Structure 1
Amino acid sequence: MPEFLLHPQLAQDCFKVGSFSLSELLMMNDSQYPWFILVPRRHNIKEIYQLNSLDRQALQAESCLLAEALADIYRPDKLNIAAIGNLVPQLHVHHVVRYQTDKAWPAPVWGKFASLPYAGDQPEQRITQLRSALSNHLIN
């Protein structure tokens, strides 16, 4: 099987948080929203249905673990979870914490406003908090 390569756009736009058994966990470099992404380490997969049944179950379980941790940490009004991939064809699942007071509410965050990169140690603080919450589930 070919080696897993993260799509260059995801590599450019995100920080690595850690790894689940199936997926890489990333954080979007946009300080306007707590925004995390799961990317299954599978070659040439664009859609969830293309994963084998065990991988689909693993992705669902990882998504639920992430969603639960985000709900515990951020207490959102809504958690948007979506696999869109119109610009980045590699399968990836967004998990975006939303509040009725956020800049884009109630519209989707995609393409609504230019991203606002994190400053200073902000990204490391968020990453450390999430790693701690998921410490029993991340493999690195």
Structure 2
Amino acid sequence: DDARYSWLVLIPRRDDIREVYELSADDQATMWQEATEVGHRLMAHHDGDKLNLATLGNQVAQLHLHVIVRHQGDVAWPGPVWGQGTPQPYDDTTLSTYLATLRDLLTP
């Protein structure tokens, strides 16, 4: 919940998966293809400078892939987004609007 970055988390629909290597080769390929497509759409929509993809699981063990659009000059640039400054939560109206935008943007 940080409006400073355009950020999604992809979670494979597989039970008890903590690491990428626990996925089948087909599921690994699907995850990478989906992350690439989502990232491409987000980058185009937000006119991003760099796409960050990361599988950090230090706080949540379930395998998940962060898809983060970065802009030169954002508050964490050029470093990682984690632990930088104070998160700015979305207000209800902005969040609802942004979620609707994402649904339209990511619908095939």
1:116 aligns with 2:92: no
Identical columns (%): 39
> Where does 1:36-47 land on structure 2 (aligned, <5 Å)?
36-47=8-19
**Which structure is higher in strand share?**
1
Give the helix-richer structure, 1 or 2. Answer: 2
Runs of 4+ in 1 over 3 A off after TM superposition: none
Moved more, 109-118 or 33-42: 109-118
Looking at both structures, which has the greater relative contact order when contacts are Cα pairs under 8 Å and sequence separation is at least 6?
Answer: 2
* Counterpart contact for 1:69–1:130, Cα < 8 Å: no
**d(CA) in 2 for partners of 1:53 and 1:120?**
39
CA deviation string 1:29-83 (max 9, x = no partner): 1111111110111111111111011211111111011011101100111111100
In structure 2, the partner of 1:10 is none
Give yes or no for the alignment of 1:64 onto 2:36.
yes
Aligned-pair CA distance for 1:107: 0.9
Q: TM-score, normalized by length of structure 1?
A: 0.73
CA contact (8 A) 1:78 1:99 kept: yes
CA distance in 1, matches of 2:14, 2:54: 18
* Shift, 1:133, TM fit: 1.6
- The 5-angstrom pairing of residues 21-32 of structure 1 reads 29-32=1-4
Segments of structure 1 that go 5 or more residues without pairing to the other structure are: 1-28
Amino acid at match of 2:87: S
Question: What SS does the aligned partner of 1:127 have?
Answer: helix
